[in-house]
Amino acid sequence: MIILLAVTSYLLDRATKFLVFQHLPLFSSVPIVYNVFYLVHIQNTGAAFGIFQDRNCLLAVLALVALAAMGILLALGAFRTPFGRWSVGLYLAGISGNLTDRLLYGSVMDIFDLVVPFFGHWPAFNMADSYICIATGLFLYDSLHEGDVRPPTDNPSKL
């Protein structure tokens, strides 16, 4: 199930980037919902929010280390709950999607631009970035609620 989620999500990331690459010139923008949501074509040589600009090799190595760590933890059975397993699948897809861009193009293609009220333009992002954010939320939720599962009991009054 983890691999199916990872592969399907990865392919969706690749497909959306491919379509934008084929149909939208670099630095172009097309409104999807005017003044709210735009399809864009931007190349980002950094990481989230534009940090670590022009550090592509470092970011690629960090991505490889993260993928290896996920693989080891997965092999050790560290992710036992559904939320934990889903987070791993989405992390694998997100990290792999952006790593593929870095290795092929030397930068990550960002394709979505969101205008947030009272904030302005949110930094451009892509499907892989979304997967990483969702995975982080699932992982945090799972970590915070890890001890919430009670063992079964024969006596309902002890629940």
Active site residue ranges:
110, 129
Rg of the Cα atoms in the chain? 19
Q: How far apart are CA 151 and CA 2, in angstroms?
A: 26
- Largest Cα separation within the chain, whole Å, is 66
How far is C-alpha 31 from the geometric centre of its chain's CA atoms? Answer: 23
Contact between 108 and 43 (Cβ < 8 Å)? yes
**Strands (DSSP E) along 18-58, which ranges?**
29-33, 37-44
